[in-house]
A and B are shown apart, each in its own frame.
Chain A
């Protein structure tokens, strides 16, 4: 097992004919990902990289019973692409592009509510289960199959986190980039819940960062669950001066200035093991004696 995606996950690529999509789809297919179809307006009926292309998600879904869709569409087209995938009841969406308008994300979150779809991203490297499925743009050559689940709020630090699990000799079960944006499809909680139920995952590594309240939410969640596996966390941005661009209102939203130090304290109180630097992660993992 693993979570979200494995070698049997039937993957659709929305926007498959674009340059970036083509580059990464080719790599994903070469690393074993089961990509069954793609969409691209007015390219329906063609084949691209050996994959059948459809005009819309509905037609692809009817023919292939799609499990997951990776969105390579540009930021301004993400809302429509998500809507199509949600209407086709696809279980997982991974949205790569950065710069999706915030109000579009509000509408997207409203669409996702009560739907059958879990959305990862936007602005994410994606989801990867090493040697089985690569949904996104991860440099797959650094990944090793193993038993640590990774959930990260920072795209590039995800790669550092992967290297740390390799150094600990433990590898990764599944790696999830939640996305760097202010509003994302899913926070830490749902992926963590799935890791807790996953036989192949022995411990979970969380990478958080300075903005937002997602770290507080996961702390509350983790403190409340019964069936716990160890969780190690790193939160980036301790040295960052507080951002003033949003005025008082931004500080009120977070009930006063919640610093990285505050976040770490809240996480520790909930039983999460917090390290102060990325390069301490491998030691913390080894000390778990998994």
Chain B
């Protein structure tokens, strides 16, 4: 689960990490007021608050934004509201958002901090070790992805939960960044606090891109991204409270409310499966036939007929969807519940597009009987490959 930059920074500040002074603004005039309060003469940073990286190199698509990205340095107070207006209520597309981008509803106004030697730092869980891994790179903001393939461009330090960061590890970081040993204390302080935050809040990732060094040698977080483990939020009600889910689309929120996972893609086939592996398998086969998946609903663990019906309706009412593929291997989940769900959903919203079902496992025959007696135009298949083929054939006829 992600939070916005300004929220992440506030959290870091609570743990004693330095951040630039700043304030949030929902309108352009508010942005100007915040800027004036922060500093009488600037410059200021103006930052679009969407939960995505690479905002600086992104572009706006709804209305003209002067050809600039979502992170801007503003030197004149008179330009603040003008630049803020270009970003607000405009959709920002970055290399991490996908084509549809994210709507900017607020901007974060910060006092510009003069720093030297900005660098990239992040902590993330490397699951294959497993360990909390600290990543350091010289280049902030540039293409870190390309750098990641070159071994010596990124320093990796594996940390354990109980042992903290050692002086030797800090020396390693200073050496890597070609910095003098006088920074030992401030680096120790910064990364010690970062690790403490990471562990204490059940973070899966904290990314500071970049960290800057202030004239007094202290380190400051000029940007912040935190990803929290959703399975550990029961330990952090304060974070759950600040989480805004309106960045997620409505269908996804509805699916979540039913207890199911829901993802959208660029194709036109809607999939309903029970299990992540089955979802991936269906997508792979659909792609191998030259088609694409529109959305995928995972009803794993479902046992409530009404929730299953509500989930199926999400797929049936998605305007992208031109055909539905249902692949269920009943184990814990009983196939007949899915059949009941299909019936209920069809009665509510109508079934006007081809629907192919493959049932296997617990109560398979019972499920088939329910659908056969319903007079719904459901097509049956014995395995997933056959199901995809039958669906594509029917969709072509419908065209």
Spell out A's residues near B (CB within 8 Å).
75-76, 98-107, 109-110, 125, 137-139, 142, 152-160, 163, 180, 182-183, 187, 207, 209-210, 212-214, 216-217, 236-241, 244-253, 255-257, 276-279
Contact = CB atoms under 8 A, between A and B. Distances in A.
B12 interface: no
B125 interface: yes
A109 B126 CA distance: 13
Contacts of A276: 288
Contacts, number: 184
Interface in B125-165: 125-128, 130-133, 135, 137, 144-145, 147-149, 151, 154, 160-162
B329 interface: yes
B277 A209 contact: yes
Contacts of A109: 130
A119 to B, nearest CB: 13
By Cβ-Cβ distance, the 9 closest A-B pairs, closest first, are: A156-B275, A154-B277, A157-B277, A101-B232, A236-B280, A239-B287, A213-B128, A239-B283, A256-B149
B361 A110 contact: no
17 contacts: A98-B301, A101-B229, A106-B161, A138-B331, A153-B277, A157-B275, A183-B130, A236-B277, A244-B98, A246-B124, A247-B96, A248-B120, A249-B207, A251-B144, A252-B122, A277-B288, A279-B385
Nearest to A236: B280
B231 interface: yes
B148 A139 contact: no
Contacts of A142: 361
B42 interface: no
A249 B135 CA distance: 8
B84 interface: no
A256 B145 CA distance: 6
B227 interface: yes
B130 A105 contact: yes
A126 B253 CA distance: 31
B199 interface: yes
A237 B280 contact: yes
B207 A240 contact: no
Given A101-B229, A137-B332, A236-B277, A107 B124 contact: no
Nearest to B286: A239
Interface string B167-205: 000000000000000000000000000000001001011
A277 to B, nearest CB: 7
Contact of B199 (A103, A160, A217): A103
B239 interface: no
A89 to B, nearest CB: 22
Nearest to B96: A244
Contacts of A207: 277
Contacts of B384: 160, 278-279
Contacts of B361: 139, 142, 159
A104 B202 CA distance: 9
Given A137-B331, A237-B284, A255-B149, A102 B128 contact: no
Given A103-B161, A214-B128, A236-B280, A249 B231 contact: no
A238 B360 CA distance: 24
B75 interface: no
Contacts of B285: 277
A186 B280 CA distance: 22
Nearest to A155: B275
Q: Is the interface of B mostly helix, strand, loop or mixed?
A: mixed
B53 interface: yes
B91 interface: no
Contacts of B137: 252
A252 to B, nearest CB: 4
Residue among A98, A106, A158, A163 with max Cβ neighbours from chain B (10 Å): A106
B246 interface: no
Contact of A101 (B231, B286, B287, B293): B231
A212 B130 CA distance: 11
Contact of B277 (A75, A156, A182): A156
B330 interface: yes
B244 to A, nearest CB: 15
B166 interface: no
Contacts of A249: 122-124, 135, 205, 207
B225 interface: yes
B11 interface: no
A24 B370 CA distance: 26
A103 B232 contact: yes
A253 B234 contact: no
B227 A245 contact: yes
Given A139-B361, A156-B274, A157-B281, 7 more contacts: A156-B276, A236-B280, A237-B280, A238-B284, A244-B52, A244-B98, A252-B148
A154 B276 contact: yes
Contacts of A102: 125, 202, 204, 229, 231-232
A233 B314 CA distance: 34
B300 interface: yes
B49 to A, nearest CB: 16
B235 to A, nearest CB: 8
Interface string B69-103: 00000000000000000000000000011100000
B15 interface: no
Contacts of B147: 252
Interface string B105-134: 000000000000000101111111011110
